[in-house]
Amino acid sequence: MSPYAQMLSPLDLGHVVLPNRVLMGSMHTGLEETGDWNRVAEFYAERARGGVGLMVTGGMAPNREGGVFPGAAGLFTPADIANHRRVTDRVHAAGGRIAMQILHAGRYAYGPECVSASAVKSPISPFQPRALDETGIEKQISDIVTAAARAREAGYDGVEVMGSEGYFLNQFLVRHVNRRDDRWGGSYENRMRLPVEVVARVRAAVGRDFILIYRISLIDLVPDGSSWAEVVQLARAIEAAGASLLNTGIGWHEARVPTIATSVPRAAFTWLTARLRPEVGIPVIASNRINTPELAESILASGQADMVSMARPFLADPDFVAKAAAGRADEIAPCIACNQACLDHTFSGKISSCLVNPRAGHETELPVTPAAVPKAIAVVGAGPAGMAAAITAAGRGHRVTLFERAAEIGGQLTLAREVPGKEEFRGLVGWFATMIARSGVTLRLGTEAVPAALAGFDEVIIATGVSARDPGIATDPRASVLGYAEVLRGARVGARVAIVGAGGIGFDVAEYLTQSGESATLHPAEWRREWGVGDPALSPGGLAEPAPAAPARAVTLLQRKPEKPGRKLGKTTGWIHRAQLAARGVKMLGGVNYERIAPEGLHVSFGAARENPTLIEADAVVLCAGQTSNRGLAEALAALGRPCHIIGGADVAGELDAKRAIDQGTRLALSL
Ligand code: NAP
Ligand code: SF4
């Protein structure tokens, strides 16, 4: 029997039987807005071929005022319907099923036309919404119903009505946004009238033989959010109104609690899905931070849910289900929940992709084809760039030898995985090891590649990575100065620490050094305490007073730029790192000059005039001042007139991250 018997078992929805219990959750990819519908169709078709039971598209706007941003895609014209028909046809031809999400953003719509229950601005939007009158509410309902009918016309198998995450329907449910005193406000009966009416009228419009998913907010994580009794009341009413499935939503977008970042424990919120399940008769879907078939299986086998939703894991690996079913689960490329190439892209107006799988969203541009002429390829350096190049090239039929000076693979990833809250990187290194072995790459660990050893290869790829930059600060030999790599590998560090450099690694090192005991990411109850996640049955919205653990050390994080440290961290995760360090009492200083490092600490001054000399008392100074490229081998080859490809940190060290490294390695290997 498969170890994933529950996950792979069918789910009977009456008019249709889903082949398994895995839902690809909705993600905004930005592909629809490119206007390249072949690209959109191929994105979903590739995932349909990978065996997922049901997919949900990114949110489609029901009308202009409800779009997340001006120009957000929707089914407004016959041409739109025809475009969506290309997607559904391709998905059905691949044996898949797909539902369209209808997303009305309400006051989260990024534009002056936005509407809501009352004219109450969201803390994360510059736009004050217009309070809808009775006619306006009717228009919104009928636009949502029309979108559902058009989805059916476009060939979708169903729709998902987005009722969580603080969007339009969710806004009507809570008093702090819904200040109305008409039949749409006041009592809970009135506040939930809108979502219930929407579901009933969508059902009436699309008929019984159409999947209707409602995404319900189980814990709002905002002050004055819904109580658990209200959640249950709504769930029952939504079921009675005709929904086929209840999907889980966690936290409003304005919540100050992370809900999907990598530091959130896996399956951190399935206890709420488990609590809802016995209250209703329709299947409920668990969501958030589920990324392995083992976890999906345990959630289903323990009765916490009827189905499991994973979104980003299908960017990382479209074949998630097929590989699990074929007994090759260890080949599933893991989503590490970093957001770096998916949500961070979305919020920067770029197409969503994936750090682990740069082909995501670029399927038509980056097809994987067998090599026309299999070659002997040497890759030097088994960091992310080199490993990605090696496995991609070998997968295409090249004969690849991967040289690594260290005794293990991973490069900088072996440091990232030591940071509390970044445990997912362990799985990424493990996956690379599996794929190197399975793809037939010859791995030469503990081997420093020299030019002579590279003779005889048709192509040489240099991925020799980076070395920590020495910032050249005047240093007393009696002072304790450490590099970040030494620290993350376990060097002893005193009680008071000054960190030079407040980039991604400075922040990581500060988290590592202030962590007392084990990472809360591995201990969900502790994590909930730290972030103030309570029980919505006890406090509406499920917020409690955060109780961060006492920091293990006193840390000061410094940079020369006269700006707030951490400004350049990830768009969707930077706030989490800043909040975490603030909760641990880390002092952050910008605009410093490093004068000297002494046994008593780090002497700094401020500004161009080097004013205000200050001693940052510290038992140790840790250098996190960026990196420089390791190009010795590349230069030696160049001197011999031998061509090579240079990728990753060896190519450009500045602001290098695994996303750029893996992308560059993959693209190069696809071109050889
Ligand atoms: P980084 O982000 O470039 O930061 C380097 C830091 O060192 C900056 O704070 C810089 O600030 C300082 N610095 C640069 N030159 C210096 C000098 N000569 N003397 C003193 N200070 C100097 O590099 P990183 O922190 O090493 O990270 C490397 C890459 O990994 C980055 O792309 C980063 O985004 C990525 N990464 C990402 C994450 C993540 O969570 N997404 C985590 C870790 C690393 P000043 O010049 O203002 O002093
Ligand atoms: Fe997951 Fe990171 Fe890929 Fe996004 S970019 S899908 S979070 S691994």
Could you tell me the pLDDT band of residue 11, with boundaries at 50, 70 and 90? very high
CA nearest ligand 1 atom 7, residue: 625
Residue 654 has pLDDT above 90, yes or no: no
312 lines ligand 2 (CB under 6 A): yes
Hey, which of 26, 43, 266, 338 would you mutate to test ligand 2's pocket, going by the most ligand atoms within 8 Å of its Cβ?
338
CA dist 494 and 488 (Å) reads: 14
Task: Give yes or no for a contact between 336 and 637, defined as CB atoms under 8 angstroms apart.
Answer: no
Q: What's the 404 CA to ligand 2 centre distance in angstroms?
A: 26
Q: In this structure, what are the phi and psi dihedrals at residue 172, rounded to the nearest 5 degrees?
A: -70, -20
Task: Give the relative orientation of helices 504-514 and 574-583 as an angle to the nearest 10 degrees.
Answer: 40
**What is the percent of the chain with per-residue pLDDT over 70, rounded to a whole number?**
100
| For residues 261-290, average pLDDT | 97
Hey, which of 290, 336, 571, 666 would you mutate to test ligand 2's pocket, going by the most ligand atoms within 8 Å of its Cβ?
336
Q: Which ligand is nearest to the CA of 566?
A: 1
Read off the pLDDT of residues 452-500 as tens digits, 9 standing for 90 and up: 999 999 999 999 999 999 999 999 999 999 999 999 999 999 999 999 9
| For residues 386-410, average pLDDT | 98
Read off the pLDDT of residues 584-621 as tens digits, 9 standing for 90 and up: 999 999 999 999 999 999 999 999 999 999 999 999 99
Query: Considering the entire predicted model, what is its pTM?
Result: 0.96
Task: Give the relative orientation of helices 658-671 and 384-395 as an angle to the nearest 10 degrees.
Answer: 30
Q: Which ligand is nearest to the CA of 355?
A: 2
| For residues 626-653, average pLDDT | 96
471 lines ligand 1 (CB under 6 A): yes
| For residues 146-150, average pLDDT | 98
Q: Which tokens go with 467? A: 């070395």
Q: Domains plus CATH for the chain?
A: 11-346 (3.20.20.70), 376-467+628-671 (3.40.50.720), 481-516+551-625 (3.50.50.60)
655 lines ligand 1 (CB under 6 A): yes
* Active site positions, annotated: 167
Q: Which ligand is nearest to the CA of 289?
A: 2
CA nearest ligand 1 atom 16, residue: 625
Q: In this structure, what are the phi and psi dihedrals at residue 393, rounded to the nearest 5 degrees?
A: -65, -45
CA dist 394 and 379 (Å) reads: 11
662 lines ligand 2 (CB under 6 A): no
Beta-bridge partner residues of 558: 500, 589
Task: Give yes or no for a contact between 275 and 219, defined as CB atoms under 8 angstroms apart.
Answer: no
**Averaged confidence pLDDT in the chain:** 97
Beta-bridge partner residues of 380: 403, 462
Q: How many residues does the chain have?
A: 672
Could you tell me the pLDDT band of residue 571, with boundaries at 50, 70 and 90? confident
pLDDT at 10: 98
Residue 285 has pLDDT above 90, yes or no: yes
Q: In 10 A of CB 89, how many CB atoms?
A: 14
505 lines ligand 1 (CB under 6 A): yes
Q: Which ligand is nearest to the CA of 338?
A: 2
Residue 347 has pLDDT above 80, yes or no: yes
| For residues 64-76, average pLDDT | 94
Q: In 10 A of CB 142, how many CB atoms?
A: 15
Read off the pLDDT of residues 89-130 as tens digits, 9 standing for 90 and up: 999 999 999 999 999 999 999 999 999 999 999 999 999 999
Query: Residue 191 is which amino acid?
Result: R
Could you tell me the pLDDT band of residue 632, with boundaries at 50, 70 and 90? very high
Q: What three-state secondary structure class fits 442?
A: strand
C-alpha dihedral, 84 to 88 to 94 to 96, nearest 10°: 130
CA–CA distances in Å: residue 95 to residues 433, 647, 668: 32, 38, 32
Q: What's the 261 CA to ligand 2 centre distance in angstroms?
A: 10
Hey, which of 342, 628, 655 would you mutate to test ligand 1's pocket, going by the most ligand atoms within 8 Å of its Cβ?
655
CA nearest ligand 2 atom 8, residue: 335
Q: Which tokens go with 311? A: 């979104």
Residue 656 has pLDDT above 80, yes or no: no
| For residues 196-215, average pLDDT | 98
Which residue, among 170, 41, 151, has the nearest Cα to 101 in the 3D structure?
A: 151
pLDDT at 568: 86
Q: What's the 84 CA to ligand 1 centre distance in angstroms?
A: 43
Place of tokens 């309070």: 131
40 lines ligand 2 (CB under 6 A): no
pLDDT at 403: 98
338 lines ligand 2 (CB under 6 A): yes
Place of tokens 């018997």: 5
385 lines ligand 2 (CB under 6 A): no
pLDDT at 29: 96
118 lines ligand 2 (CB under 6 A): no
Q: What's the 507 CA to ligand 1 centre distance in angstroms?
A: 9
Strands (E), 371-429: 376-380, 399-403
CA nearest ligand 1 atom 32, residue: 655
